Amino acid sequence: MLAEFSVRSINAIRPDIAAIVDEHIDEMLARGGPLDLVQAFSLPVPSRVICEILGVPYSDHTFFQETSQNLVQAESPEQAIESVGLLIAYFDELISACLKQPGAGMIGRIATEHVATDRLAKHELIMNALMLLIAGHETTASMITLGVITLLAHPEQLAELRGDEALVGPAVEELLRYLSIADIAGTRVAVADVEVGGITVKRGDSLVVSHSLANRDPSAFTDPDTFDIARGSRHHLAFGYGVHQCLGQNLARAELQIALPALFSRIPDLRLAVDRSDLVLRDGGTVQGVNELLITWGAEA
The percent of the chain in helix, strand and coil, each rounded to the nearest 5, is: 60, 5, 35
Q: Do the domain assignments include residue 133?
A: yes
pLDDT for 135 equals 80
Q: Do the domain assignments include residue 67?
A: yes
- ∠ CA 208-70-292, rounded to 5°: 95
Dist CA 13 CA 116 (whole Å): 28
pLDDT for 1 equals 52
- What residue type is assigned to position 115 of the chain? V
Q: Do the domain assignments include residue 191?
A: no
The count of structural domains within the chain is 1
Q: Indicate which CATH number applies to the domain containing 277.
A: 1.10.630.10
Q: Do the domain assignments include residue 48?
A: yes
Domain extent at residue 259: 3-181+248-296
CB 147 within 8 A of CB 256: yes
Mean pLDDT split into 10-residue runs, the chain, 301 residues: 86 97 97 94 94 91 85 82 92 93 91 93 92 85 96 96 94 94 74 90 87 89 94 86 84 96 96 92 78 90 49
Q: Do the domain assignments include residue 216?
A: no
The three-state secondary structure class of 232 is coil
Dist CA 81 CA 65 (whole Å): 16
H-type alpha helices, the chain: 7-12, 14-31, 37, 44-54, 61-72, 77-100, 105-110, 122-134, 140-152, 155-163, 168-179, 211-214, 249-266
Query: In DSSP terms, which residues pair with 206 in a beta bridge?
Result: 189
CB 120 within 8 A of CB 268: no
Q: Do the domain assignments include residue 187?
A: no
From the list 104, 140, 111, 151, the residue with the least C-alpha distance to 128 is 111
Its pTM stands at: 0.91
pLDDT for 214 equals 87
Q: Within 13 Å and on the Cβ side, how many CA atoms surround 49? A: 38
Dist CA 154 CA 143 (whole Å): 16
Q: Do the domain assignments include residue 44?
A: yes
Which residues lie below 8 Å from residue 73, measured CB to CB, with a gap of 6+?
282, 283, 286, 287
pLDDT for 110 equals 94
Dist CA 17 CA 251 (whole Å): 10
Dist CA 94 CA 164 (whole Å): 44
Q: Do the domain assignments include residue 87?
A: yes
